[in-house]
Amino acid sequence: MKKNKKHMDTTIQPDAASKPPPQEKPEPTHIDGLPVKVEDGGKFFELNEFDGASKGFKFYVMQFKTLEDAIEHYKALKQDDAILTLVNRQLNFNMRTKAKNQITNEDVAKKLLSRGETLLINVDEARQFVPGEREVTSVGGLYKAIDALKDQVKEAREAGDPELASSLKEKIKVLYAKLQEKVLAGLEDE
């Protein structure tokens, strides 16, 4: 039997449409020979790099896996107040940023000052602040948050938890007050 050499050397090219999607590059494990993450029990060290004028320089930042790991670490160093200092500094930074964001431009600042509204965050708002939790400020967002809380109230009632339902209702009242304030502020601007 005679073989057709030309036919045997031909390779079939896959259709361009059937190519597998490009795979995402894996996270680097080393940068300039330094490990990106160094595990050490309940803590790890994460490599950070500078941008701008200090570009090229690197440093490690200690991170903790749990609150207990952080407390244990600083207690071992006999630095109990270190955690309190870190929390207070971060709260100060977050609250300062939150307050600053309420003065979005010079016109808003002038309007608030002309009304004598210089207090941007009151004691109750500061007390209820949770770092990392985004505050809903748009009218649409407030309506969505209220609807979600109403669903949670219904679920709490069905689960036989009147205390939770009552707590959620209080949150709804706060959101309705914010919504009313937002709507009225919009009418003043017109």
Is the domain of 141 the same as that of 154?
A: yes
Is the domain of 129 the same as that of 144?
A: no
Query: What are the pLDDT digits (tens) for 113-156?
Result: 898 888 888 888 888 888 776 666 678 888 888 998 999 999 99
Q: For residue 7, is it within any domain?
A: no
Q: What is the mean pLDDT of residues 43-69?
A: 83
Is the domain of 127 the same as that of 141?
A: no
Instruction: Provide the pLDDT confidence category of residue 48 given band limits of 50, 70 and 90.
Output: confident
Q: For residue 127, is it within any domain?
A: yes
In a 10 Å sphere around its CB, with 0-12 CB exposed, 13-18 middle and 19+ buried, how is residue 82 labelled? Answer: middle
Q: Range with the lowest mean pLDDT among 10-14, 46-50, 73-77, 150-154?
A: 10-14
Quick one: which of 45, 47, 44 has its CA closest to 34?
Answer: 47
Q: For residue 11, is it within any domain?
A: no
Give me the number of domains the chain comprises. Answer: 3
Q: What is the mean pLDDT of residues 19-29?
A: 66
Is the domain of 156 the same as that of 182?
A: yes
Q: Which two tokens stand for residue 20?
A: 């597998």
**Does the global pTM surpass 0.85?**
no
Query: What are the pLDDT digits (tens) for 163-186?
Result: 989 988 988 998 888 888 888 877
Domain with 157 in it: 136-190
Is the domain of 67 the same as that of 98?
A: no
CB atoms within 10 A of CB 168: 21
Q: For residue 176, is it within any domain?
A: yes
Please report the pLDDT score of residue 159 as a whole number. Answer: 92
Is the domain of 142 the same as that of 178?
A: yes
Quick one: which of 34, 39, 29, 90 has its CA closest to 63?
Answer: 39
Is the domain of 62 the same as that of 101?
A: no
